[in-house]
Structures are given as C-alpha cells and as structure tokens.
C-alpha cells in the first residue's frame, strides 16, 4: 500500500485518500499520474523554461551568448531526470514566493550556482514571460502526453478487443430488440461492429485535435520582448520554440492570437471529443449489461471470486457497471471543463486555474472506465444456445420478410394481413409456415420463404461485421 507524505504527524495510506483515483484505484492509474499530477505539471514547467532559455541563447544577442554543449546537456538533464525530490524542492520554495511559477524559476536558477556560464545568464530564465506562457504551454504538454501515451492506447486496446469479437461472432445470429420488443434478427458480431465504427471515429477525432500553446507575454502582444530588443522578430521566435520538435522545442502547435491566457478552445474541443467517446462506451456498457442479463453472455470468474454476497448463483456484471459509473463521472467533469475554460473576464482571471488542476481527475475516471470495460470484455463467454433459443421463440419477426415478398408480388394489404395474424398472438414455426403455404406467390418464392428462419434472416450482418 502506497504511503503519502506525513501531514501534522499523520501518515496517510491509499485507504486514507480523498479521491478513489489515488486510493482504491491508485494502482490502475500509475501511467497517468506522472503526467497529470502536480509533479507532472512542475516537470513540464521546467521543460518549457529550459526550452525557452536555450532558444534565447541562440538568438544572436550580444548579451546572451550561445550556450556550450555541456551547458545544454546539463539543462536538458534537469528536464530528463526531474524527480519527485525536485518537485518537493520547488514546493518548498513556493512557501516563500507564494507563487508556483516563480518557484520554478528560482529552482532552475539554484541549479546554476556551481556553473559560472549559466550563472552569468541567470536572468534570462523566464525572460519576458508571463506565468501563463509557462502554464498554458505546460498544460498543453501534459494533455498531449496523456492523450498520446495513456488515453488513445487505452481506446486502441478496447477497439482491438471489440474488433476481435466482431469478427469472431460475425455469423452468430441474434434477436434484435427495438423499443425493448423483438425485432428483425442481426448477428452478435454486427452489433459489436457498430460500436467499433462509432468508437474508431471518436478516437480519430481525439487524435486529430491540435494541441496549442502561446508564448507572447502578459497580454499576448510581445510588449516586454520588444522593449528589450525592438527589432527582433519575437513572434517567429516564439513559434519556433513552440513548434520545434522535442527535445529542442516543445512540439506543439503555435497559437498566434491570445489574451494573457491561451483561450483554451482547443481544450474544450479535446474534452468534448473524449466525452463523446465516453458516451458511446456508456451506451455499449448498458447494452452488454442487458445481454448478460438475457444470458447471451456468461462471465468467467477467478477461483475464489464471489459474485453475490448472499446469492451463490449470481455473477454480477460489475465491470460494465463500474465502467458506466466512472464514464459518467468523467463526462461530468469533462463537460464542466469544456464549458468553463473558454470563458475569462477581460484579459484573464483565475477561475480557470483551479479548474485546470482537475484535468487529470477527469481523464483518470475515463481511463479507469476503459480498463474496467476491457477487463469485462475479457471475461465474456458467448452462450450460443441461449441466443438460439431466444431466436427460436420469436417467430413473429418473420412477419417482416413475408409481408415484404407479398408487396413485391402485389398481394392485397400485406402489412395489414400480417399485423392481424401476428399481433398479440404467440407465433410458432408451424403457424408462420402455414401462413406462407396459403400465399398466392410463385412456388420458388414460397419455398424460399418456407426455408427461412429467424436465425437465417440476418441480411448482410455477417459481411458487415467482418468488414470493420
């Protein structure tokens, strides 16, 4: 069990965590925590400050000569090897500064003390920057990493599993239900294929969103920059730092117009896109829950695992319930983020600051849900006998093809005839085939209808399932 720092003499463990993300589910979010925690935030702040500082040394200013290879390696090492101890040191400085960005600046300068070359250039750390130049760019780096390293791979794992299931069950016929009532048959694989296509589209949208950053000073006009070197192209410089690939630059997309803060529209777009993917998965979680309830799927249990505390026969679909609940929590936070963040009074206020600190929480609930879904899907075992029995008990669904063939051959009131024959009455193979036998249609067509069963009436479902 992981231990948290001592506070007023008390040592906190994971069971003392206020959030289940850092408590009960802490181990499941180890990949996200270094990226989206305050430690991750400070790490990215150091990265931005170092990239800016090194780039300034290459501007050709007489007052700041190009850094030596050794100095560059040392500075990049501060980023590469940034540790929790370093983060704690910054927090200690913040106790005095009461300003988290200034604390980062002072920490970097403290690392220059034994290096005269860097010590002489110390005042170029954070040069012409406002705090938000550092913060918004750090947030962008955090979000890009969380998206590319954790979120999208988790969705890819889900997509891989769902594709496998769509192909494996492409030809397994299944009764459909629309409005909760029996409807034209499909196949298990085709229903899963529908989810694959929706989720792939949503995932592609998440991946396509440009992650933006600005480095243009206090209100976005390069005022301070131009006061020092009025003839230098600071906009081009800023763009170069933002867009040059890591490690020399930041590898983001330059935002040329901003107030003091990057306006966060891209964040809203990203969070909305993640929420849309989550909504698809809520829909799917509920559907699977229903299929488990119908007995279409059984669930594998580990030795010793309990399904119900009192009813020994039960195996509850907890992974899908867990996923649905956590996806809902994720979306509540993601939607607040997307609605709040693009709004700032005049050039800026601080209402975004505390909200932004919860980005990792919102994404954490999503990632947790993806893991639950993947676990749940891995436990499913198809019950073809139960699916087949449900189909065989639902011969009323054959009314659709019968009335459609009747329409083809111009028989009177085909829909109305089938409605009268089937509605409210239990249908069997014998009753449906007896109706067909009395139809005035070509014999070949009659034989084709007589050979048709609910299990064979699946159209192109299998082909469509194999296509994804």
Please enumerate in sequence order all residues whose Cβ is within 8 A of that of 295, keeping only pairs 6 or more positions apart, or say none.
383, 386
Say if residue 247 is preceded by a cis peptide, omega within 30 of 0: yes
CA dist 195 and 163 (Å) reads 9
Six-digit token string for 354: 């505390």
Query: Is 83 one of the catalytic residues?
Result: no
Which residue bears the tokens 């048959």? 185
Catalytic hit among 13, 68, 308, 456: 308
CB atoms inside a 10 Å sphere around CB 11? 10
On the 0-12 / 13-18 / 19+ scale of CB atoms within 10 A, 47 is buried
Question: β-strand 181-187 against 173-178: which pairing, if any?
Answer: antiparallel
CA distance between the termini of the chain: 42
In this structure, what DSSP letter does residue 184 have?
E
Angle at 309 between CA 304 and CA 313, to 5 degrees: 75
Containing H/E element for 185?
A: strand 181-187
Six-digit token string for 30: 């180890």
Cβ-contact 402, 435 below 8 angstroms: yes
Catalytic hit among 179, 208, 309, 313: 179
Beta bridge mates, 173: 187
Distances (CA, A) of 84 to 40, 42, 67, 91: 9, 10, 27, 10
Six-digit token string for 310: 């009192």
Distances (CA, A) of 404 to 399, 423, 449: 8, 17, 11
Query: Is 308 one of the catalytic residues?
Result: yes
Active centre residues (catalytic): 179, 308
């Amino acid at each position: 069990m992981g231990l948290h720092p001592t506070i007023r003499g008390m040592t906190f463990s994971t069971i003392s965590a206020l959030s289940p993300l850092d408590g009960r589910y802490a181990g499941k979010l180890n990949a996200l925590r270094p990226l989206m925690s305050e430690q991750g935030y400070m790490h990215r702040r150091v990265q931005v400050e170092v990239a800016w500082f090194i780039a300034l040394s290459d501007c050709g200013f007489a007052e700041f000569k190009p850094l030596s290879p050794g100095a560059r390696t040392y500075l990049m090492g501060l980023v590469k090897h940034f540790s929790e101890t370093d983060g704690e040191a910054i927090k200690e400085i913040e106790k005095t500064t009461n300003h988290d960005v200034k604390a980062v600046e002072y920490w970097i300068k403290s690392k220059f003390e034994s290096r005269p070359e860097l010590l002489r250039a110390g005042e170029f750390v954070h040069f012409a920057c406002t705090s938000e130049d550092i913060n918004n760019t750090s947030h962008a780096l955090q979000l890009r990493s969380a998206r590319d390293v954790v979120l999208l791979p988790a969705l890819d794992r889900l997509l891989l599993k769902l594709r496998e299931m769509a192909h494996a069950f492409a030809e397994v016929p299944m009764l459909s239900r629309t409005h909760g009532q029996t409807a034209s048959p499909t196949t298990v694989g085709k229903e899963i294929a529908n989810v694959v296509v929706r989720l792939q589209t949503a995932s592609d949208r998440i991946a396509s969103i440009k992650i933006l950053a600005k480095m243009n000073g206090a209100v976005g006009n390069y005022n301070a920059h131009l006061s020092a070197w009025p003839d230098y192209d600071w906009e081009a410089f800023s763009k170069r730092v933002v867009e040059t690939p890591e490690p020399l630059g930041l590898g983001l997309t330059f935002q040329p117009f901003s107030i003091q803060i990057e306006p966060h529209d891209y964040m809203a777009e990203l969070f909305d896109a993640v929420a849309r993917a989550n909504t698809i998965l809520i829909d799917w979680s509920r559907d699977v829950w229903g299929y488990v309830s119908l007995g279409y799927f059984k669930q594998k249990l580990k030795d010793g695992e309990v399904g119900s505390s009192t009813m020994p026969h039960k195996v509850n679909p907890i992974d899908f319930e867990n996923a649905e609940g956590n996806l809902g929590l994720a979306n509540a936070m993601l939607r607040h983020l997307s609605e709040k963040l693009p709004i700032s009074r005049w050039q800026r206020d601080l209402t975004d600051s505390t909200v932004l600190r919860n980005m990792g929480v919102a994404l954490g609930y999503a990632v947790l849900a993806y893991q639950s879904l993947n676990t749940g899907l891995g436990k499913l075992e198809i019950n073809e006998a139960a699916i087949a029995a449900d189909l065989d008990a639902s011969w009323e669904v054959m009314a659709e093809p019968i009335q459609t063939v009747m329409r083809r051959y111009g028989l009177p009131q085909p829909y109305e005839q089938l409605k009268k024959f089937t509605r409210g009455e239990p249908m069997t193979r014998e009753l449906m085939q007896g109706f067909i036998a009395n139809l005035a249609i070509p014999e070949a067509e009659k034989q084709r209808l007589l050979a048709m069963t609910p299990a064979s009436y699946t159209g192109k479902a299998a082909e469509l399932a194999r296509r994804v």
